[in-house]
Amino acid sequence: MSRFAMVCIFIGLLALPSRAAWPVEMTDLYAAEVPVADQSAAARAAASRAALAEVLVKVTGSAAAPAQPQFKALLQQSAQAMQRYSYRTAESGQALQVSFDRQTINQRIYDAGLPVWDRNRPQILLWLALEDGGGRTLVGGENQPELQTVVKDRAQRRGLPVILPKLDGEEQNAVNIAGVWGQFSEPLMQIAARYPADAVLLGRVYAIGPERWRGQWTLRHAGSTASWEAGEGSIADVVAAGLNQVAENLAQRYALVLKPGVNSVATLMVDNVANIQDYARLSRYLDSLDPVRGVTVERVEGASVVYRVQVRGELQGLTQALVLGRVLTPVAAGAAADDALQYRLIP
């Protein structure tokens, strides 16, 4: 790799926001729970297709993914991609819990030319104000527990790590509900510094008729701002529409599309590998990254380990995944030998 390419990659890393330090590893992207009529094979097959459709949405970041013709055969053969399943009796009836094989699903998505959104995802702090006949309230703490459940369920279905404010005494004194309602983000961004959040979502949901609601949303992340209206419907529909757009926006930024036949090789030097525990943690981490096809150790130099990394697609996919992983931090370009990518292991 040329020194020019190294410099370009490092400049890109520095351009990423300094608050991009709180990604969350989503461990349930390849699992779903869906209603099932009974425990017959036919009912299980139908439910497994619905579960796989939900997984495709979470992994690609696109609600339109299950409708893509490239996935027709995969959905019809969903049972073959299952790792395990079980049944659970829920309040609404019987449910099927399914987990699918990560490598199988990812490879089928790559083959279809669609993006895979890595498991390390920006954590989102949601400031949500609700207006109904009783006035305006903030959602969080002990307020609106049913709506909090709706938020958590919809976020889980889109693979979004969303947290709500605690609304403790300090926040109650500092937060002006008018500021949330007016979506004046700067004061809220200051309060948001209390939380391990990488993005801030401001939402206001208000009644426009009996059981009819409308929502307006603003997302602040990575130095950019996006605003939209979520349409009309039930309160669950409006919340889902708001979070759907968040997922689509973030996936466009972070999901990796692999060009067929394109592979790369990188030399990666990692400093601060002080003991065998550090080495084991680092090796497990590199093996877990979606862009990584294979990793071998080239040499060890004191507390530094030099790896040869086989990369799916272009090198930028690897560097982006490394930044989001909260395990490594980049070191100045040019400091490493052999034009290697150089990082430091975070203790």
> Which whole-number Å values give the CA distances from 207 to 204, 232, 241, in the listed order?
10, 9, 16
Q: What integer pLDDT is reported at residue 13 of this predicted model?
A: 33
pLDDT per position as a tens digit, 103-162: 899 989 988 889 999 888 999 999 999 998 889 999 999 999 999 999 999 999 999 999
Alpha-carbon span 224 to 180, nearest angstrom: 18
Q: Among 99-113, 222-236, 250-264, whose mean pLDDT is lowest?
A: 250-264
Tell me 327's DSSP state.
Answer: S
Alpha-carbon span 150 to 233, nearest angstrom: 14
Q: What integer pLDDT is reported at residue 183 of this predicted model?
A: 77
Count of CA atoms in the C-beta half-sphere (13 A) of 54: 26
Phi, psi angle pair for 301, to nearest 5°? -125, 90
Alpha-carbon span 1 to 3, nearest angstrom: 7
Q: Taking a C-beta distance cutoff of 8 angstroms, is the pair 199, 224 a contact?
A: no
Count of CA atoms in the C-beta half-sphere (13 A) of 303: 11
Amino acid identity of residue 249, one-letter, is N
Q: Among 13-27, 92-106, 201-215, 296-310, whose mean pLDDT is lowest?
A: 13-27
| Higher pLDDT pick, 256 / 248 | 248
Domains contained in the chain, CATH given: 3-14+258-345 (3.30.70), 31-100 (no CATH), 120-254 (3.30.160.100)
Tell me 207's DSSP state.
Answer: E
Amino acid identity of residue 203, one-letter, is G
Q: What integer pLDDT is reported at residue 185 of this predicted model?
A: 67
Q: Taking a C-beta distance cutoff of 8 angstroms, is the pair 85, 98 a contact?
A: yes
pLDDT per position as a tens digit, 148-166: 999 999 999 999 999 999 9
Radius of gyration of the chain (CA): 22
Q: Using the predicted structure, report yes or no on whether residue 337 has a pLDDT greater than 70.
A: no
Neighbouring CB atoms inside 10 A of 59's CB total 27
Q: Using the predicted structure, report yes or no on whether residue 288 has a pLDDT greater than 60.
A: yes
Q: Using the predicted structure, report yes or no on whether residue 178 has a pLDDT greater than 70.
A: yes
- What percentage of the chain carries pLDDT values higher than 70? 91
Q: How confident is the model at residue 20 (pLDDT cuts 50, 70, 90)?
A: very low
Which pTM value belongs to this model? 0.81
